[in-house]
Structure formats: C-alpha cells, structure tokens
Structure 1
Amino acid sequence: MLRDGVAALACCDEVGRGALSGPVTIGAVLVTAATRTAPQGVRDSKLLTPDARRRLAPRIERWAAAHAVGHASPAEIDTFGIMTAMRLAGERALRALAVQADAVLLDGNHDYLSPPDQDVLFGGLPETTHAVGAAPWALPRVVTMIKADLRCAAVAAASILAKTARDEIMVELAADHPEYGWAENKGYAAPEHIDALARLGPTPHHRTSWRLPGLAPPLGGADSVADTHAVASARALESPA
C-alpha cells in the first residue's frame, strides 16, 4: 500500500477475542516509505515464545514510525458485544498513534473498525465510551488482508505489541485471582480456568454475557450467542502461550 501513495500505513492486529476473561486488545504499528526493514525475528506473535515477544517489543517500538495499543474491558464487551468492543479498542489504538494514519491494514477478512454507517463519527460507537471532550474522529481507509500477520511484518509487529501488553495485564490480574491460572492461560479456556469457574464462579474480569464453561447460560448480554461461537473459533486460532 505504501507503493500506492499511502504516506502512513497503520497495521493492526487483535488478541484476546476468544478469551473468557480480560480485555480484547488491538495493537497498531505505523510505517511509512522511510521505515526500514523490521527487526529480525518479527513474526506472528502466536509463533513466538513469551520471552521472544518481550525481547522484540522494545525493538519494534524503536523501529516503528509510531505505535500504540488499545484495550476494551470485559464490561465493555458485555455491554456492547465483542465486535463493537474490538472497534473501540482499535479506535483507541489509532487515536493514540503519534502520527496520523492515512490508511489501516487489518489482519483477516473482516473490517471490525468501520461502523455500519460510514457517516457516523467516533467509529459508530456510543459517545459514552470516549474520553470527555474527545474531538470527532474520521476513520482512515481500512483494508483487510487474510494472513496479514504472516505476510506483513508490521502486522506481525502489531500482534507482538498487543500480545505483550495484554499478557502483562493478565499476569497482574492473576495476583488477585490466582485460582484461575491467568498467569499461564492468559484468560483462555484452559482446564484450570474452567475448573475455577465451576468452583468459584466469575470475577469482575470475566465476560459474564458469554456462555462461560462450567456456568449456567447468561441471562442476557449484548451478543452472548455470537460470542460463544467466537470463543470456539478463537480457540483454534489463538494460544495463551
């Protein structure tokens, strides 16, 4: 896309979509025609060990023209649904970039950033989810690419930043809730996590609108049925490692 006249391209990837607890997180890495080759070892975060990701993260931050990470909380996922929460996390990441992007490249084949109504400001999100006094914001052009995390180094770099940031959050939360094993499983549906849910029930950090394993079906929620399918599909795509 940089060869097509795009001056600043923001490459994004998400982590945590299929987790049972914790935020959904979007990483954004902005590159320009002047950006050099990515640091050696950068690849899709799921193919790297935690130590490798932690070593690469500061190198990526120095390499990128701009970088940022955005989160949407479990409460926001429960209130608005996972897809709207991803849009919210993505907008937070893009707004936080030190350089304005001219276009955005997303991994996959679904544009979760663009609102249903392209003329709606704030990415179609309820204004209550934005900082007080936040200026209206126009979403740059969005392009999707299947397997972009394998084909584009900047998307892979974004996945590393997102995974590293979200893992740090889950390790911190694990200190107050050690029974769920979040330091190891990062909020995904690992056996010790499911066992703790059945014994202890959910915490404030769980997505309680979802059909959580070991618990009765939720009484409601933004899109709990759709989120159940998201959990199943994401298990095959994401690893807590």
Structure 2
Amino acid sequence: MRQAATGSRRPSLRVERALQRDGHRVLAGMDEVGRGALAGPVSVGVVVIDETCRSAPQGVRDSKLLQPHVRESMVPRIERWALAHAVGEASAAEIDAVGIMAALRLAGMRALEACGVRPDLVILDGNHDWLTAPEDVGLLAFAHEDGVVTPPVTTMVKADMRCSSVAAASVLAKVRRDRFMVGLGDDGGEHAAYGWAVNKGYAAPEHLDALRVHGPSAWHRRSWRLPGSMGDDGDVTHAMPVGER
C-alpha cells in the first residue's frame, strides 16, 4: 500500500489523471459513512471511472459539506457520470460479529462486487487501508464468496475533499444510509423515539436519552457500550462526535 500525494483542496480529477498516466486506467474512489454511529449499518460507496469519464458533475463535494437536498439531487448525475457505481453495507449485527474495521472491508467488498468492474486501483480516504485484509485474518472469507480479489489500494488523507471520484462515492454512501435511517425512524413504531430521522443513528442527545429509557434496539451495535444496556456505566465508546457523518 502506498499513500498518494495530496493536492488541491477542491475536488477534481487531478489525482485520478496522474494515477491513470501511471498505468491505472480504471480507478475506483471509495469512502465510508456511518463508522462512528451507534445504530444502523456502515455504508461504503464506490465510484469507478476511466479516461472516458470527463469532469465530475458540478458541485460534487465531500458529502459532509452538502445540504441533504443537494446530495439527493447529485445522485442521478453521479450515476450517469461514472463508469460504474455501487454502495455496499455491513449491518449492525455484522459489526458486532467481526468488529468495525472488518465490517468496513465487508461493505467495501460488497460494493466492488456490485459494480461488476474490477478497478486497477482503489483510492481510499484517510491514511489506513481497511479494504485489504491482514494476511493472518481468515474470518472475512465470506466477504467475497464469489472469488472477488481485493484490488490494489492507495490511501490519501482528505481524499474526499481532493478527488472527485472519492467525493462522489461519499455522496452515494451518505444518501443511501440516510434514506435507510430516516425510514427506520419514520416508521411510527418502536424506533421513532431514537430520533434517527434527524441524527441518523449518531450519538445526539435525544438518541442517548432514548437509549437510557428504552435500551438498545435490534438496529443498535450491541457490542458497543451503550446507555441503557446491561452493565452500562453511562459512557459511550466507539462513537464519533455528533457532527461527524
């Protein structure tokens, strides 16, 4: 694994074009959403491009920087622009079973399988390659039962703010996961109290208060120490700040 050089703060295809000139003709930008949530899946978006994909749709940015209605409007434009695209997910139960990092890989491999195109290189946001399994870990064989091999990976800090393909992948993942969490929260039933339509499963005050009153639901990550769970001491671990996606 190598770490790509950083460039402009505005998403563009500058990094992707340089990598294509190095021989990686088919590139996949990949980003995750929901890593730090207390409930719901972790979602991984992937956008595959080649030399025929021109400039990304105007306004594509890291999903955190866009209003919800803007993200929604961008989805069909991104889908028309990309050579291939998909969102893969790992459920709360799978996160409990294998841990968050392994679940990220599971979701990422599912996204790549759904694309139907094997990229020459994957660009991951951040400085850690969570897509490539450690050599001594065998529990993730089910992540690619059809024999899909993990492509080469390069990491880039703030790639979602610099690479159009990664920014576009973050938008797809964010929209898909938000729709799912809003649907759960708007069902008018047992999940409405957690406020997921607003907080999307993150550690917002109303979510924490509901956990203390009602305890965790089937959609919560029960391996994490949650308010209202047995033996809870009031702390919430494994959680990003409320403002994170």
Q: Which bracket does the TM-score occupy, shorter chain normalised?
A: 0.7 to 0.9
Are the counterparts in 2 of residues 88 and 125 from structure 1 also a CA contact under 8 Å? no
CA distance in 2, matches of 1:47, 1:24: 19
CA distance in 1 between partners of 2:128 and 2:167 (Å): 17
Structure with higher helix content: 1
The AA in structure 1 aligned to 2:176 is: A
SS at match of 1:210: coil
State the TM-score, normalizing by the size of structure 1: 0.87
Instruction: Give, in whole Å, the separation in 2 of the partners of 1:153 and 1:27.
Output: 13
- The answer to whether the 8 Å contact 2:193/2:210 transfers is yes
Which of 128, 137, 149 aligns to 2:160? It is 149
- The 5-angstrom pairing of residues 86-235 of structure 1 reads 86-117=104-135, 124-128=138-142, 134-174=145-185, 175=187, 176=189, 177-217=191-231, 228=237, 230-231=238-239, 234-235=240-241
Deviations 1:106-148 (A, max 9, x none): 0000000111118x8xxx5434555xxx322211100000000
Code of the residue aligned with 2:150 in structure 1: it is L
Aligned-partner Cα distance in 2 for 1:155–1:89: 16
Between 1:171-180 and 1:15-24, the stretch displaced more is 171-180
TM-score calculated relative to the size of structure 2:
0.85
Q: 1:125 to 1:162 in 2, by over 3 A?
A: farther
Q: 2:75 aligns with which of 30, 49, 57?
A: 57
User: Structure 1's 2 and 236: CA in aligned 2 closer, same or farther, altered over 3 A?
Assistant: farther
Q: Which is further off, 82-91 or 171-180?
A: 171-180
Task: Note closer, same or farther for the CA distance 1:100–1:129 as it changes in structure 2 (3 Å cut).
Answer: closer
Q: How far is the alpha carbon of 1:102 from its aligned partner?
A: 1.1
Please name the residue that 1:222 is paired with: none
Cα-Cα RMSD: 1.9
| 1:13 counterpart = 2:31 | yes
Q: 1:143 corresponds to which letter in structure 2? A: T
Supply the distance in 1 between the matched residues of 2:140 and 2:56 (Cα, whole angstroms): 37
Unaligned runs of 5+ in 1: 219-224
Structure 2 spans left out of the alignment, 5+ residues: 1-18
Whether 2:58 is the aligned partner of 1:40: answer yes
Structure 1 counterpart of 2:11: none
Aligned partners of 1:168 and 1:139: how far apart in 2?
28
Q: CA deviation at 1:34?
A: 1.4
Q: Displacement of 1:99 after TM fit?
A: 2.0
Aligned residue for 1:235, secondary structure, equals coil
Deviations 1:197-225 (A, max 9, x none): 0000000000010011354447xxxxxx9
Change (3 A) 1:193 1:80: same
State the number of aligned residues. 222
Contact map agreement 2:41 2:177 (CA 8 A) in 1? yes
